[in-house]
Structure 1
Amino acid sequence: MYLAQFFKTAAEPAILKRSIKVSMIVGTILMFINHGDKLLGSGLDSTVIIKILMTYCVPFCVSTQASVSATLQARKKVAS
């Protein structure tokens, strides 16, 4: 039950929009910190590209989890 509610809430447009914004900002900063030398030195290969994509996934997941947890907790308080 909780997992279905979690994913339904995570799919809400406001949460998705917020998570994408956070991912773009934080992911870009982390990507330049972790992989900037390879980008500038043209040392890109498939492994680096996968790592860059994962760099964006982490802040997206963290932001989504935090937003969903806060939303569900707020809704639970209102329902009580």
Structure 2
Amino acid sequence: MIKMKYFKIYGEIVISPNVINRALKVSLIVGTILNLINQGETLVTLDIANLNFIKLGLTYLVPYGVTTYTATAMKVEFLIGTKAIIDADLKCVKCGCEIHVKKNELIPECKKCGIKTHWKLK
């Protein structure tokens, strides 16, 4: 069963300014390129009557969603030496050691596992 606190943690990461800014930048660049590939002639000639607005919107939405998902997945990894984006209770996958990290605190190595530490949400 998925714990409700996970939804809160994922939600905080998804709406964090860093994730939103990165997703918007990627969406703007990739979405524009894909729209030019898919509807280039219609866009260049400004033929609004034949422009598929649903396709236009989705072409920006997909890169935004993929970037948001990827950034969130990376932030939830809690890699050692990176800053925690939120307060979290972590558990070492290898040995089961547990720690609490605060927002913007550097994520430490596990005392038992050292450099081979792999943290997951507790």
More strand by share: 2
Indicate the RMSD between aligned Cα atoms, in angstroms. 2.3
Question: Kindly tell me: are residues 6 and 45 of structure 1, through their superposed partners in 2, closer, same or farther at Cα, counting changes over 3 Å?
Answer: farther
Where does structure 2 lack aligned partners over 5 or more consecutive residues? 79-83, 85-89, 93-106, 109-118
Q: Does residue 66 of structure 1 match 2:70?
A: yes
Q: How many residue pairs were aligned?
A: 80
> TM-score of the superposition, structure 2-length normalised?
0.56
> TM-score of the superposition, structure 1-length normalised?
0.82
Q: Which runs of 4+ in 1 moved over 6 A?
A: none
User: Partner of 1:29 in structure 2?
Assistant: 33
- What amino acid is aligned across from residue 21 of structure 1 in structure 2? K
Name which one, 1 or 2, has greater alpha-carbon Rg. 2
Shift of 1:46: 7.8
More helix by share: 1
